[in-house]
Amino acid sequence: MKVDVLLGLQWGDEGKGKVVDVLTPNYDVVARFQGGPNAGHTLEFEGQKYVLRSIPSGIFQGDKVNIIGNGVVLDPALFKAEAESLEASGHNLKERLHISKKAHLILPTHRLLDAAYEAAKGDAKVGTTGKGIGPTYTDKISRNGVRVGDILHNFDAIYSQAKARHEAILKNLNFEYDLTQLEKEWFEGIEYLKQFHFVDSEHEINNLLRDGKSVLCEGAQGTMLDIDFGSYPFVTSSNTVCAGACTGLGVAPNRIGEVFGIFKAYCTRVGSGPFPTELFDETGETICQIGHEYGAVTGRKRRCGWIDLVALRYSVMINGVTKLIMMKSDVLDTFETIKACVAYKVNGEEIDYFPYDINENVEPVYVELPAWQVDMTKMQSEDEFPEEFNAYVSFLEEQLETPIKIVSVGPDRDQTIIRYTED
């Protein structure tokens, strides 16, 4: 068996949680491979709305195994709040959620360091969510991290050593803080975590594959936020691309099967950083309001713009995408004309590839396409798609050289249309 990978192709917030939930019935296992509680995956069904931060989006399908992989960073306090909220809604997690012993823990002092580092940057701040993600990955790479498996072995000493090192840094930064409440909630989270299965996830996943089980790997954030290939330094701290599934779960590259790439019919970004197709006019505001473009975790307003096919082609290439999934098509229902960026103009020269640096000197080159001006939210099959929408889909497939297999026309899991197209 091979693992399939599902990930975002833009700057995150593409709607990955909903699609994982839709696809989960086709799989035995859903596994998160990177990121932390800075990523919120929103799911809506049966009149309820859920926001998952660390728990895989397959958790609502009762008979599936869900794995938090070694590439994820986990905050015990936030995990406890998230899990208890789901359990209160009637979802039993303890029997079907497994946590890698090699996943790194976000400590209370990591959150403080996050705030201190961001404050020190002033106008050059990255726009971090303040959840301690960056400092945790920094400790991981510098071989100073604290892992889930450490909870079972000499944990107090390991924690105290890490805390002391962090407090020395905070003192040098002249950052004032009070750890009392943060630590209290964090240690309550540690006790709560002990109720779950701690596993050697790399062995578990490969044994499941050997037994013929199907696995869907769930990514967080988006390709353009990848630490290596995104719009550095305005990126996250992990590998959000397909290769991250290999390192974040212990899966060999030759085990990768289908790669599902998710994108919005337009484009959004949260926080600081370059965004070539950003709209600062009424059109951008309209997209924001119709699309409810506010962060699921932070509540921050998202910057909105037309679709960027230069960046999308780059993402498709980097990830080896085999199937595309287009989200929020319905948000564009009311527009008369739709634009798509097909190239960049840099210092007067037109290029069709993603450059080393995208900054204020990058000017998008647009083509205009007729819009459909039809309410798509009630549509049940692709046979109902208006001609103009089909033309938009065909244009995107031609530009990206990859078939669009799924189209979302609303937030509910039922507002998902499978397209039966030839590969």
Active site residues: 13, 41
Q: Tell me if 69 sits within 8 A of 31, measured CB to CB.
A: yes
Cα–Cα distance measured from residue 395 to residue 323, given in angstroms and rounded to the nearest whole number? 15
Distance CA(174)–CA(360), nearest Å, equals 34
Amino acid at 58: G
CA–CA separation, 372 and 16 (whole Å) = 25
99 burial type by CB count under 10 A (0-12 exposed, 13-18 middle, 19+ buried): buried
Distances (CA, A) of 130 to 133, 150, 356: 8, 24, 27
Backbone angles phi, psi at 324, to 5 degrees: -105, 150
Among candidate residues 363, 344, 364, the one with its CA nearest the CA of residue 354: 344
Q: Do 17 and 35 form a contact (C-beta atoms < 8 A)?
A: no
Question: 62 to each of 46, 78, 86, 216, 217, how far by Cα in Å?
Answer: 15, 23, 13, 15, 18
Which residues have a Cβ under 8 Å from the Cβ of 342 and sit 6 or more positions away? 309, 310, 352, 365, 366, 367, 399
Q: Which residues contact 321 (CB under 8 A, 6 or more apart)?
A: 9, 259, 260, 261, 315, 402
- Rounded Cα distance between 83 and 85, Å, is 5
Of the candidates 270, 176, 287, 186, which has an alpha carbon nearest to the alpha carbon of residue 231? 270
3 state DSSP class of 141? helix
Identify which of 323, 227, 224 has the alpha carbon closest to the alpha carbon of residue 278. Answer: 224
* Residues pairing with 301 in the sheet: 294
- Between CA 393 and CA 369 the distance in angstroms is 11
| Residue that the structure tokens 């309550």 belong to | 188
**Residue bearing tokens 């950083």:** 273
Q: Do the beta carbons of residue 40 and residue 52 sit within 8 Å?
A: yes
CA 179, CA 346: separation in Å to the nearest integer? 48
